[in-house]
Structure 1
Amino acid sequence: MFISVSPVLHCRLMLLHLSCITKGEKPFRHDPHWSSCRETNQELLQTNMHDFTSYPVLFQTFLQGMNCRSPPVLINQSNVSNDTFLLLAIKSTPRNFEQRQAVRETWGREGVYPGGLRVRLVFLLGSSPLEDPDLSPLLSFEAKHYGDLLQWDFRESLLNLTLKMNMLLQWARKSCPHASFIFSGDDDVFVNTPALLRYLESLEASKASQLYVGHVISSANPLRDPKSKYFIPLSFYDGPYPAYAGGGGFLISGALLQPLYSVSRMVPFFPIDDVYIAMCFKALGVTPEAHAGFQTFDVKEQDRENLCVHKDLLLIHRRSPQQMKKLWTGIHSPFLTC
């Protein structure tokens, strides 16, 4: 059932977590003092990673907090949705208001679509990096006005996207437990929502209940260059990655939400969020399915302005707020002939 990797830190942590669960103990810390949780990981790191201090600071920070899974909630949307067909869960950052607004005005519009399909939108945020201005008052106003922000008190960083994904699972199982499908994506992707809904409606029940679909990346290996933002030390993880759907955007079945959350409690955090979620799916025996409509790495250069090409796609990565609005207007124009 579980992933087989070489006996490096990530594998040893998984065995430790399974041992804790067998004994009826909690493998992860739910310390009310969030800031002190990282300090408790130092002994484990020093014991298992002799070269810990040689890693980039960002990776050290990730390792110190990889067992800490209960950051304080800063902004919540606790109203429970019982009739959501598609939950759009979009990773954003405090500073990206323009991107969020473009999503709201285009492909992320909440409401009931043709066929009575209800779509709900939430944005997932951490707290601003120390070097950024404090945007808390603006975020509070935005949250009250739109009712679609979720924010937790952990610093935004590339390596904290896994924690953000984990918080989505925790939130969705309580506040949107009956969603038929969940789309996880970035705030700089363009989604053809009507086409996405038509695709989901066309699925047979057996496929819909096990859905994990997107742009699939197979046979990828960890990058060992410390200068790379996706650097993974050999002493942390050895071997290839499981096949995974690119994090720009992918779809999963709502029926997998609870099993995915349960297995995520046994799989140690991994610093690349789309690889981590693939590890969890692999533990469930679910493999990602490739769909040509997910263009995570964009379309051909000559097709970037071709509305007819975009009309048949489900996702394109990446687009600016202005490009999103132009695309949305263009592909829904009654004068578009393809």
Structure 2
Amino acid sequence: MKRKYMKLLIVALVSSFCVAIFFSKLKDVEHTQRDLAKIPSVPAVTPGKPTTVPVVMNTKPKRKPNQKLMSFELSALTISETFRKDIPKNGAFWNRKLHSFLRQFDSTDNQTHKDPRDKFKCQPESFELLQTNIQDIHSYPPLYGDFLRGMECRDPPLLIGQPGKCSSDSGDDQIFLLFAIKSIPRHFERRQAIRETWGRERHQVRTVFLLGRSSEDDPSLDKLVSYEAQQFQDLLVWDFHDSFYNLTLKEHVFFKWMLESCPDVSFVFKGDDDVFANTQAILDYLKSLKPEESTALYTGQVIFDASPLRDPKIKYYVPQSFYEGPYPPYAGGGGFLFSGNLLPSLYHVSFYIPFFPIDDVYTGLCFKAIGINAVKHNSFRTFDIREQDRENPCVHKDLLLVHQRDPQQTMRLWRNMHSDMLTC
């Protein structure tokens, strides 16, 4: 009997020890949450669960002695005449809104150099106002309503940031390539596969994952995301619900973060968390560019002659009363590359282009507006390759990107591509 009680006592002690270790891991998160409570709250872009994600500022940016952190200023801006002519003037809501913004740019903002950030306050549009402007709004899918009400909300708080992400160890080297990967809280497995393969950080290469908060229909993963951010120091999390229609907002706030925390990066790879990228091939391609090519790069698998899809059952549905006209040529959102020096102009012009429910179309509009045309690159395969080639590492060696690959395929492909036994 004594031996039985001794075993129970040992089990209890071991369990207590494990619990103590677990709670010690959460100690930093709890301290941060208490600090966050002192900060005035800011409304989220869409109504939902209360925000519990702490702000994680993991490191201070490395800088030279006596160098001050500077807030960025918006660059001088010219909006392309071709872009203005390509977007027709008609009765569709988005078209009217765009041309209204362009008139503001031409009449007041451009002459007085007024900062457009001052005029956007997060005041969700009322349904009555939207109904006045969109008479058939009752026929729109429910998620469109959330998107439309939040179209003026452009500056959600950054809950988790990485201010030192683009600081090199020496403090002198400029970051050459930044991988900026769109993800959502519950996709940890995808993020980890990227960290262990093509997104692994190296000299002059950095990786960040772009997240909002868990959607209203998902359990809150805030504490897990906070712990992940502390462990890997590569998450950027903003205070809005992560949804398909909020990807455009994610694009806009990413531009802002880049200008604040990573303004000198040479190139940006923007993509989804289910793509497979060939890191070395991307680096080789970028280093082969001529100077005039490297300063105006916007490339990927380009979609030409596209127009809105009018079937409400399709994910990319756009009602005719919302937008009418063609789309500009744009690089597929699965993955594309662009020059870092274009960021100031992209961020500035994004204030004069109303948010659009499809993020890669919106990005194409921004590039078109600053006079940059999308250039097709045959090694970007955002619509995948032949089924019989999808497990072939030799085929992938000649590609820059394929879409889609699950985490297991990503791990397997990366391992096989870098095997000493591979002969292609």
TM-score bucket (shorter structure) = over 0.9
Is 1:67 the counterpart of 2:152 in the alignment? Answer: yes
Give 1:111's aligned residue: 202
State the AA in 1 paired with 2:402: I
Matches of 1:235 and 1:60, distance apart in 2 = 14
Matches of 1:44 and 1:315, distance apart in 2 = 43
Where structure 1 has 5 or more consecutive residues not aligned to the other structure, the ranges are 113-117
State the AA in 2 paired with 1:5: P
Q: Is the strand fraction higher in 1 or 2? A: 1
Matches of 2:247 and 2:175, distance apart in 1 = 25
State the AA in 2 paired with 1:100: R
3-state SS, counterpart of residue 111 of structure 1: coil
Q: What whole-Å deviation, never above 9, does each CA across 1:63-82 have from its counterpart, x for those lacking one?
A: 11112101122211122625
Give 2:137's aligned residue: 52
Give 1:182's aligned residue: 268
Please report how far the alpha carbon of residue 121 of structure 1 lies from its aligned counterpart in structure 2 after TM superposition.
0.5
Matches of 2:88 and 2:242, distance apart in 1 = 29
**Matched residue count:** 328
Q: 1:151 to 1:99 in 2, by over 3 A?
A: same
Asked if structure 1 preserves the Cα contact closer than 8 Å seen for 2:295 and 2:339, the reply is yes
Give 1:267's aligned residue: 353
Task: Give the superposed CA RMSD.
Answer: 1.6
Give 1:11's aligned residue: 95
**Aligned partner (choices 174, 177, 191) of residue 86 of structure 1:** 177
3-state SS, counterpart of residue 335 of structure 2: strand
Identity level (%):
54
Q: 1:52 to 1:269 in 2, by over 3 A?
A: same
Asked if structure 2 preserves the Cα contact closer than 8 Å seen for 1:17 and 1:27, the reply is no
**Aligned partner (choices 102, 108, 113) of residue 23 of structure 1:** 108
State the AA in 1 paired with 2:409: Q
Give 1:330's aligned residue: 416
Asked if structure 2 preserves the Cα contact closer than 8 Å seen for 1:53 and 1:60, the reply is no
Is 1:122 the counterpart of 2:213 in the alignment? Answer: no
State the AA in 1 paired with 2:357: P
Asked if structure 1 preserves the Cα contact closer than 8 Å seen for 2:303 and 2:330, the reply is yes
Please report how far the alpha carbon of residue 42 of structure 1 lies from its aligned counterpart in structure 2 after TM superposition.
4.0
Structure 2 counterparts to residues 215-254 of structure 1, below 5 A: 215-254=301-340
Q: 1:28 to 1:330 in 2, by over 3 A?
A: farther
Where structure 2 has 5 or more consecutive residues not aligned to the other structure, the ranges are 1-79, 168-173
Asked if structure 2 preserves the Cα contact closer than 8 Å seen for 1:20 and 1:27, the reply is no
**Aligned partner (choices 122, 133, 144) of residue 219 of structure 2:** 133
Matches of 2:253 and 2:117, distance apart in 1 = 16
Matches of 2:361 and 2:147, distance apart in 1 = 15
Is 1:77 the counterpart of 2:162 in the alignment? Answer: yes
Matches of 2:377 and 2:98, distance apart in 1 = 31
State the AA in 2 paired with 1:59: Y
Give 1:156's aligned residue: 242
3-state SS, counterpart of residue 71 of structure 1: coil
Matches of 2:319 and 2:397, distance apart in 1 = 42
Please report how far the alpha carbon of residue 9 of structure 1 lies from its aligned counterpart in structure 2 after TM superposition.
1.4
Asked if structure 1 preserves the Cα contact closer than 8 Å seen for 2:301 and 2:376, the reply is yes
Matches of 2:340 and 2:420, distance apart in 1 = 34
Q: 1:140 to 1:80 in 2, by over 3 A?
A: closer
3-state SS, counterpart of residue 331 of structure 2: strand
Q: 1:280 to 1:44 in 2, by over 3 A?
A: farther
Please report how far the alpha carbon of residue 236 of structure 1 lies from its aligned counterpart in structure 2 after TM superposition.
1.2
Q: 1:283 to 1:89 in 2, by over 3 A?
A: same
Please report how far the alpha carbon of residue 10 of structure 1 lies from its aligned counterpart in structure 2 after TM superposition.
1.3
Structure label with greater radius of gyration? 2
Matches of 1:18 and 1:79, distance apart in 2 = 36
Larger mean CA deviation between 58-67 and 191-200 belongs to 58-67
Matches of 2:283 and 2:422, distance apart in 1 = 21
Asked if structure 1 preserves the Cα contact closer than 8 Å seen for 2:213 and 2:238, the reply is yes
Matches of 2:364 and 2:260, distance apart in 1 = 22
Larger mean CA deviation between 2-11 and 295-304 belongs to 2-11
State the AA in 1 paired with 2:192: Q
Please report how far the alpha carbon of residue 30 of structure 1 lies from its aligned counterpart in structure 2 after TM superposition.
4.5
Is 1:101 the counterpart of 2:186 in the alignment? Answer: no
Q: 1:27 to 1:17 in 2, by over 3 A?
A: farther
Asked if structure 2 preserves the Cα contact closer than 8 Å seen for 1:191 and 1:315, the reply is yes
3-state SS, counterpart of residue 50 of structure 1: coil
Please report how far the alpha carbon of residue 224 of structure 1 lies from its aligned counterpart in structure 2 after TM superposition.
0.6
3-state SS, counterpart of residue 338 of structure 2: strand
Q: 1:11 to 1:219 in 2, by over 3 A?
A: same
Give 1:115's aligned residue: none
3-state SS, counterpart of residue 210 of structure 2: strand
3-state SS, counterpart of residue 260 of structure 1: helix
Matches of 1:196 and 1:58, distance apart in 2 = 36
Matches of 2:188 and 2:117, distance apart in 1 = 36
Matches of 1:42 and 1:287, distance apart in 2 = 37
